[in-house]
A = this chain, B = another copy of it.
Amino acid sequence: MADIRFKRAAIVGPGLIGGSLARAMRKANIVDAIVACDKDAEVAARAAEIGVADEAAAFADAVKTADLIVLATPVGAIGDLCDALNDHAPEGVLVVDVGSTKEAIVRSASALRSDILFVPCHPVAGTEQSGPDAGFAELFEERWCILTPLDRKDEAYQTAVVSATKLWEAVGAHVEHMDPVHHDLALAVTSHLPHLIAFTLVGAADDVESVAQAEVIKYSAGGFRDFTRIAASDPIMWRDVFLNNKEAILEVLGRFSEELAVMQRAIRWGDGAALEDAFSRGRALRRAIVDAGQETAAPNFGRDQDGH
């Protein structure tokens, strides 16, 4: 049914996202063969072992006969990978990435040979787990994938953008085009800042000397445990996000800190009306997210499966 097909897809970094895309492409029946490569050869071997890829190979061998190359590494690796693509990628190949920041990647892509057709992509999907075993074919279903195409008017590139769109639609995603600077700001709000806050809260939990970690664990159902999910995400991936989207993240962090100062003052002054007002915004927004198909309506995320 999908009007797109690849003969040989090279997955560079077959972890949660790369491995899920491999599985999803197979499920959608839009690929003949998949080859995995990774700077850690054991990761590529594992992907082949569990059937996520048909074979594992070194980068040069993986990409040289591919008609689709998926860069699914931490964003900090994309610059070097672009250099390597210039050395090894075949003419006319479609390249997509899956990185959570886009402006820095668009910049790296400007150094590519013009016959390498790189369409920067960000599927807004994931879990807190990582590695080839963590992936699953349904990860992108009903999620949004943002494309930030390069500023190229040539027909070959326009065709590549259409192919990238069909690829993501074939695995169940909704596709949207966006300016990379706006992408980085929007995702700073909806993803990068939430991760920073979660990492910080979990890191600060042992700062109160008189509260033992055993107590933090026992009473985590009071709310803390929710934050540990995204704080359990891959540290390298997230380090690279913060190194590559500094300005937007500092901007939205500044807004958050202002808002937090306002809340702090309301608590100090015992301003119940201000607190109640601020606390009343959450339900409508959550309902809108549920209605948009981006969240479960089940209480507690449905984690208590015998509850209700």
Q: Which of A's residues lie within 8 Å of B, judged by CB?
A: 100, 124-129, 134, 136, 138-139, 143-144, 146, 176, 182, 185-187, 189-205, 207-208, 210-211, 213, 215-233, 235-236, 238-240, 242-243, 246, 249-253, 255-260, 263-264, 266-268, 270, 272, 275-276, 278-283, 285-289, 292, 294-296, 298-308
Contact = CB atoms under 8 A, between A and B. Distances in A.
Given A233-B279, A239-B279, 13 more contacts: A124-B218, A124-B221, A176-B218, A189-B208, A189-B224, A190-B223, A197-B201, A197-B227, A204-B256, A208-B251, A220-B295, A231-B281, A301-B302
B267 A299 contact: no
Contacts of A205: 189-190, 285
A229 B286 contact: yes
A78 to B, nearest CB: 15
A266 B235 CA distance: 14
Contact of A204 (B215, B230, B259): B259
A interface majority secondary structure: helix
A293 B194 CA distance: 25
Contact of A278 (B136, B203, B299): B203
A282 B300 CA distance: 20
Contacts of A197: 197, 201, 227, 260
B303 A305 contact: no
A235 B259 CA distance: 17
Contacts of A298: 303
A224 B210 CA distance: 31
A42 B193 CA distance: 41
A191 B219 contact: yes
A259 B223 contact: no
Contacts of A239: 272, 275-276, 279
Contacts of A256: 200-201, 204, 207
A259 B203 contact: yes
A287 to B, nearest CB: 8
A308 B139 CA distance: 9
A202, A242, A263, A285: residue with the most chain B Cβ atoms closer than 10 Å: A285
